[in-house]
Structure 1
């Protein structure tokens, strides 16, 4: 029986059940220490000019409707690397997921050696990565970056402007097999599944998983901090940044463990946003002082949930109350988000 998953908090239990059933559940919502996915103002996502590589349709459009961002936001990445596919290259183990769009399996190859596979969907490519995507996987432009024989990054381009891809990272142990070959096989299977009817999330009420973070923010919300014509920088499927006038604003939706005391980090303080709503803000001083405001959107009985994170940063010499600006940012966007 095909069961549409809900977001799950118990990553280990869900992964064990997933391995036995051969299908995927939602991401484990445990807090991770992965680096912040902040796009810098200099990031470039222009299209390739290599005449030997076929260009996609129009800017802002995927190379195939199957890869439309609004569709990808709801697809469970663990379902794309289900047991049957991974068994073609080795022996799968537990699944782990640290975000809406990432799933990993730290498995063994057919010789019993280390074969770690991590999948990202909606991955943002740089212009250099796009230009180097001159191979092909399952009908899509593909690029590879090999770091010695034990590590390989393979991307299948799903959109060229802004550039996005389905990306697979493969790591093998010392003395193990070459990393790119099994990666190609798995990524080809992933692309074919994406073109079919892959398993989707069944998000809880109030979940922001389907929201386009770039589309939901009005220019009038950005103008007081960034001026009339900020530059938009999408990153992945759930984060968007805007830059202008020595400042940056960012919104991101993500899964995380919800701390019982609201201390998302040691600097967090509870902030009243009015109407019974509260957020948790933290300020970091330095060359580019930054205020981060976190709003909880969903939480289950195991304290796993989803948050909306609002960030306002500006150069040291810019006169701006960054936390006050972050609160105004959140208050403007909140009514537009799904309500619990």
Structure 2
């Protein structure tokens, strides 16, 4: 790292900038520190690129997509400002050498390192592809090595430059030729299989120390990628078949990231980096710590500070060898402060509605306990994943924020942020732990571990504490438009007069959870309104596609399902999001003592129209 230059900014949004990490054709990367003390890597785009409005539009779109990448082995995007004079984005800072630096300095990886690298890259691809993205520029310099495994950076950013010859030299390709897929080298459309090819090329580099397609010139390299078969004879036999499959010229024959992840189970070597790579990681952390202590000031001359720096590195290496905590990098004997000391978790309803639950399964939250395998957003409040623990178990894990806590919610005997941890378990072979944030209804934060052998309650409690720590110290929020249903308070989302007409009587709203509200009148029935991002149902054969209120709600899909007992549910798609999900308004009407389904459905349309009118006034 280098000190900031005279023309470098001192801040990017809320992040104080400390040092220059590096720079390239697209911009420069700076080390920053957030108000809560966490380090960030701020990529600041060159002004000449930012002058192009099409680039800004693409950059803004890619930043929004990148913010959904929150799983294991990726450096999550924490913050961004695509409208700044020099657009920027801030990712979690990863202190460690790049894969390129590790191979150049330490040589090919042993089987244990290859196992950890393969599993980590496969998990990263599952998370990137889950967010509906293709990385496009996977290369050794975009993979950083940490104690927990590899971390992929710069996902989604390459696309901002793609397709505009004003932003790149004429005829150039976005990406790194030696690690491109054949279809990318030929300028053909890309799928997720393109990233798998790039991972195969990196695994071959890691196993042999040599790039499989690198030629004397860029044209020769691209020719090799498209036409030459890679020599995998020096890859350990247990991984050779899967690396060959990754490097198949036909995208259809390459494995999926999940198949790649499962392939490492055949490797018997214990996953872990070599001693030389671990020492590089320690040194990278020590360098970052030194710049934090300098706080943007010019460092002292090298000959005066080198002994002190060497002492820090030597001490950290000694701790590693002795089996001490690998995260310790201290120049004094003080213990790290408790991030939850003297803090409480107090979140408003609006904050609860905007929590990004899948970010709570990110490496920076649960990375010391294991890693998430393809976290999937169930709805705006719930994220589900299969979780791989350090001992190789794969339990199911669900994190919920703003939902009703299950079970009898008995106190478990421990507390976090001054609130008792509750046993919210409702199913056999599972364990759930939560804390209540509201009394009526009893909603809060819950972690559920299921489908696992043995006692997982301790894991559920530990994950809950990690989740609450993140919610308390650095609340992760979704990036949604101003007129987003996710922002709506469902209990105030419609005029009370519309509810009274639909019910035939006045009714007071009663929140069910942070995204649902019910109006109930004894002897008349009830109306429920839900406003959230959820799986779409317009392609579900159980639902009937309809036109609501003569099409006044817009061109997007509306669907309906009814029951023989007179319950009608109408759902309107307000905005598609990613994959099979969208922002939905759901209205259900139950009319007690009446089996008039047409009247119930007419009431759902009336209420739905009222919610859309309220949303449009935001």
Interval of TM-score (by shorter of Structure 1 and Structure 2): 0.7 to 0.9
Task: Tell me what 1:234 maps to.
Answer: 511
CA distance in 1: counterparts of 2:518 and 2:560, whole angstroms: 18
CA distance in 1: counterparts of 2:378 and 2:488, whole angstroms: 19
Partner of residue 531 from structure 2, selected from 253, 259, 269:
253
Task: Tell me what 1:89 maps to.
Answer: 369
> Per-residue deviation at 1:213?
0.2
Partner of residue 273 from structure 1, selected from 532, 549, 566:
549
CA distance in 1: counterparts of 2:375 and 2:473, whole angstroms: 22
Alpha-carbon spacing, 1:69–1:265, altered in 2? closer, same or farther (3 Å): farther
CA distance in 2: counterparts of 1:231 and 1:2, whole angstroms: 48
Task: Tell me what 1:310 maps to.
Answer: 587
Partner of residue 157 from structure 1, selected from 420, 436, 442:
436
Q: Does 1:170 align with 2:449?
A: yes
Q: Does 1:190 align with 2:470?
A: no
CA distance in 2: counterparts of 1:271 and 1:148, whole angstroms: 40
- Contact persistence 1:124–1:235 (CA under 8 A): yes
- Contact persistence 2:71–2:361 (CA under 8 A): no
Alpha-carbon spacing, 1:277–1:315, altered in 2? closer, same or farther (3 Å): same
Task: Tell me what 1:123 maps to.
Answer: 403
Task: Tell me what 2:382 maps to.
Answer: 102
CA distance in 2: counterparts of 1:29 and 1:264, whole angstroms: 22
Task: Tell me what 1:19 maps to.
Answer: 72
Alpha-carbon spacing, 1:193–1:65, altered in 2? closer, same or farther (3 Å): closer
> Per-residue deviation at 1:168?
0.7
CA distance in 1: counterparts of 2:561 and 2:579, whole angstroms: 28
Query: What is the RMSD computed on CA atoms of the aligned residues?
Result: 3.6
Structure 2 length normalisation: TM-score? 0.43
CA distance in 1: counterparts of 2:427 and 2:614, whole angstroms: 47
| Bigger proportion of residues as helix | 2
Task: Tell me what 2:190 maps to.
Answer: none
CA distance in 2: counterparts of 1:302 and 1:85, whole angstroms: 25
CA distance in 2: counterparts of 1:269 and 1:120, whole angstroms: 30
Q: How many residues align?
A: 297
> Per-residue deviation at 1:147?
6.6
More deviation in 296-305 or 220-229? 296-305
Alpha-carbon spacing, 1:149–1:315, altered in 2? closer, same or farther (3 Å): closer
Q: Secondary structure at the match of 1:94?
A: strand
- Contact persistence 1:29–1:257 (CA under 8 A): no
> Per-residue deviation at 1:233?
3.1
Task: Tell me what 1:337 maps to.
Answer: 615
Unaligned runs of 5+ in 1: 31-62
Task: Tell me what 2:355 maps to.
Answer: 75
| Bigger proportion of residues as strand | 1
Alpha-carbon spacing, 1:83–1:65, altered in 2? closer, same or farther (3 Å): closer
Task: Tell me what 1:38 maps to.
Answer: none
- Contact persistence 2:71–2:359 (CA under 8 A): no
Task: Tell me what 1:58 maps to.
Answer: none
Partner of residue 141 from structure 1, selected from 400, 412, 420:
420
> Per-residue deviation at 1:95?
1.6
Superposed CA offset, 1:122-158 (max 9, x none): 11137x735x246343121221145788410111111
> Per-residue deviation at 1:298?
0.7
CA distance in 2: counterparts of 1:318 and 1:148, whole angstroms: 35
Larger-Rg structure: 2
Structure 1 length normalisation: TM-score? 0.74
Partner of residue 285 from structure 1, selected from 555, 560, 563:
563
